[in-house]
Amino acid sequence: MTTGKVIAVTGASRGIGSAIVEELARRGHTVGCLSRKGVGPEDREVGGELIHLTCDMEIESQITEALGALAERAGRIDGLVNNAGLHQEGRSQNFKTADFEKILTTNVTGTFIACREAYPHLVANGGGLIVNIGSFYEILGARYNLAYSCSKAAMGALTRVLSVEWAEQKIRLIDVAPGYVVTDLNRDYMARESFRDFVRQRVPIGEPCEPEEVARLVATLYAEDLPHLTGETIVLDGAQNINQ
């Protein structure tokens, strides 16, 4: 058994999730890799102690079973990273109700269920940290992104409310809200000169974020004992949202 923490990561197979798995594992933590396929990172080679678990965030029983299996196999749960999520653009006047509800089910309801199901494990362990991966869209008026923006705003609210309710149990929650992040799914689009020009104009730092930077922030939150840091949203967008 590793001397590090035992941390569950949802949406662990690709993108930001796989980067978080890699960074946590590199720092000696046991990582529960929760994904629909029941696999760990598919877009990078990751060593360390990984426990692969099948978990569709739209299926409540799978969330419960995955976290229970992780606690059984690893002996405890110290933390949870709610990273899994859906993103779909569309003009609001034409957006289908089913698509809107699907995004909220995965991004909000799934996150709530994971937090609730992790709660008894964290209490039994004397407390812990839940990191929710939000988005800077939760504080912007991003056109054609109504469902996604609503879901991420709800994630910020969920973080704040649970941080107050669960403080006595020494359970902390942080909402990490990245800006534009380059992943294998959007790399070609973000490499376009038109997008690069937009970033240079709107993002003071002049470039989008890499998944590894988000992962280092998440890992840092687990590395430090900061009892009073809870309920906050940390925006990681290169100062875009405050750029006037």
* Alpha-carbon gap, residue 42 to 15, rounded angstroms: 9
DSSP letter, residue 181 = B
Region for 212 from its dihedrals, namely left if φ exceeds 0, alpha if ψ lies in -120 to 50, beta otherwise: alpha
Q: Give the helix/strand (H/E) hosting 82.
A: strand 79-82
Chain-centroid distance, C-alpha 231: 15
Closest CA relative to residue 122, chosen from 165, 160, 154: 165
The question of whether 189 is a catalytic residue gets the answer: no
* Alpha-carbon gap, residue 149 to 67, rounded angstroms: 27
Active-site option among 119, 137, 148, 180: 148
> Given 3-state DSSP classes, what are the helix, strand and coil percentages for the chain, each rounded to the nearest 5?
45, 15, 40
Rounded to the nearest 10 degrees, the angle between the axes of helix 97-104 and helix 146-165 is: 30
3-state DSSP assignment of residue 89: coil
Catalytic residues: 148
